[in-house]
Structure 1
Amino acid sequence: MEQTLSYVLVTPYTVAKSRTGGVIARLLSRVDLELVGAQMLAPDEAFATEYATHLRGQTDPANPQAGELLARYAEQNLGPSGGRRHRTLFLLFRGENPCRKLSDICGALYPRNLSVESMTGETIRDTYADLIFDHEDPSKVTYFEPAVLTPRTQQWADMNLRIFAKRLPLEPNIVQNMVYPHPQKIERTLVIIKPDNWKYASSKPGTIIDMFSRTGLRIVGIKLHRMSVSEALDFYGPVKDVLKRKLAPAFGHKAKEMLESEFKFSLSSATEKAITESFGCEYAEDQFEQIIEFMSGVRPKQCPLEELHQPGTVKCMIMVYEGENALKKIRDVLGPTDPLQAPGGTVRREFGSNIMVNTAHASDSVESAQREMGIVRIEENPCGAIIKSYLSMLGN
């Protein structure tokens, strides 16, 4: 069966209530689809109106009220209100029959009242959505929050994706829609959910985002990224000398002890120094190569020069968090580099394996955050290009 694209739009209310992680955890762990794109956007009125027009024409015979209900929601909630745009998260999936699979996990829009006892929490909407009818007039909806929006058919998906193909490239990848009372206290920090979280279908990426939500910070930028070898070398370049300073002497000392134990004679400090400067430095270099391979999927020494700048073979999710004291808040929830030394309840303690495979990265200073955002080109997002390529294959 052919692979096609579909999407889930996480609504402004769901994003604002920091339910994003829970939604992503459900989607990633319960559908056999590949998440190929993510973008935080803040639609203007024209965007919301165009999208609502499409929704209004996409009527489900089994639930004829749904199209109009969703269209009104989009008109009233996706666009700006009070002079301010609202964050909405766009998630792009690829696979076989993605519309049915995403619709099943997102859940139905019920046209009738359900008792509390009959709700199960099985789908995303069971857990996060609300549909309340007037007690006196059961046909009148008094409150509606769908939590997520997703097309039920491939025809609708392809129609709606044309809107996103046109609009997403025009949207900045960092949303600036908030006026803070103390802007001088606001920081932005970069977070990377590393490749070890994407090897198989798992709720881990969503759960990690959910853990970071306890900081009260706002996600203002997000994208999926395949780090090139060149980017990884730049990103982790400052670590190289640190590894040599820490690992080479430790290697030399350990090697001296092992040789003395094995051959029953003492080695001089000069010999230990020679081991450190030769084998120790090679060991530190190998550890650095392993970091680059972990983040890009390719060892630098095995990468042809013409492929240094090509996207890597493994993916990660890059996010920008914003708010007061953002760097410290994120790093407190993340935990120290070594998961074994991390306090309980931190991201690395919960999901990290060792110093390298430690599940996530977070900037350690404002300067580092700015440098790292530049390396991964945080202002760019490939979602629009992915959709355009897909639509061109369809002849659209």
Structure 2
Amino acid sequence: MAIERTFVAIKPDGVRRGLIGEIIKRFEQRGLKIVGLKMVWIDEKLASDHYFEHKNKIFFDRLKEYLTKGPVVAMVIEGADAISVVRKIVGPTSGDVAPPGTIRGDFGHMGVKHADEKGRLYFNLIHASDKKENAEREIKLWFSPEELHTYKRVDEEEVM
């Protein structure tokens, strides 16, 4: 069990639907802690830098438009096996296959297939780093070292 940090962003649709508190609550209930948190209205450059791996894909411009149309809540979450635990809490990318009890399963209202059929970009509420290398890159992209904080939760002695 390794103590890790991971990056999470509540996307504009999650913010606009008033899900910030519910989403943070789910991470904290699992014993994870928020060590960095801010609301930002990102620009096209940050959206491009964050999703650089999709640069040559047909949906890239619509993805950038989606991410820049409203505020995003960016977080750094720390805890035991944080990357995999956060991914389990978030659920699979498509809300139509995400199981109940996951963020996307409980709050997603559209699947990737439906969005594709309608020619729409898929809104999936939240981004979570998928592996250690991406978590490190995304944390550095979104946060300065001064914006990350070290502290102990009262229950931390029991799990760490």
Q: 197, 205, 210: which one pairs with 2:25?
A: 210
Q: 113, 124, 127: which one pairs with 1:361?
A: 127
CA distance in 2 between counterparts of 1:186 and 1:198 reads 28
User: Per the alignment, in what secondary structure is the counterpart of residue 353 of structure 1?
Assistant: coil
The residue number in structure 2 matching 1:288 is: 60
The residue number in structure 2 matching 1:75 is: none
Change (3 A) 1:337 1:350: same
The residue number in structure 2 matching 1:337 is: 93
* AA at the equivalent of 1:231: L
The answer to whether the 8 A contact 1:227-1:376 is kept is no
Unmatched runs of 5 consecutive residues or more in structure 1: 1-181, 245-283, 298-313, 382-396
* AA at the equivalent of 1:288: F
Q: 186, 207, 226: which one pairs with 2:3?
A: 186
* 1:309-328 matches, cutoff 5 A: 314-328=70-84
> Is it true that 1:235 corresponds to 2:50 in the alignment?
yes
Q: 372, 383, 390: which one pairs with 2:138?
A: 372
| Deviation digits for residues 314-350 of structure 1 (CA, Å, limit 9, x no counterpart) | 2111111111110000000100111111111100111
The residue number in structure 2 matching 1:226 is: 41
Deviation for aligned residue 1:378: 4.4
The answer to whether the 8 A contact 2:27-2:33 is kept is no
CA distance in 1 between counterparts of 2:30 and 2:4 reads 13
Structure label with greater radius of gyration: 1
The structure that is helix-richer by fraction is 1
Cα RMSD for the two superposed structures? 1.8
Deviation for aligned residue 1:380: 5.9
* AA at the equivalent of 2:67: M
Unmatched runs of 5 consecutive residues or more in structure 2: 113-121, 148-160
Change (3 A) 1:221 1:288: same
The answer to whether the 8 A contact 2:50-2:141 is kept is yes
The residue number in structure 2 matching 1:198 is: 15
Deviation for aligned residue 1:239: 2.4
Change (3 A) 1:339 1:212: same
Q: Which has the higher contact order (CA 8 A, sep 6+)?
A: 2
Deviation for aligned residue 1:293: 0.6
Give the TM-score, by structure 1 length.
0.33
The answer to whether the 8 A contact 1:215-1:330 is kept is no
Identity fraction in percent: 38
Aligned residues: 137
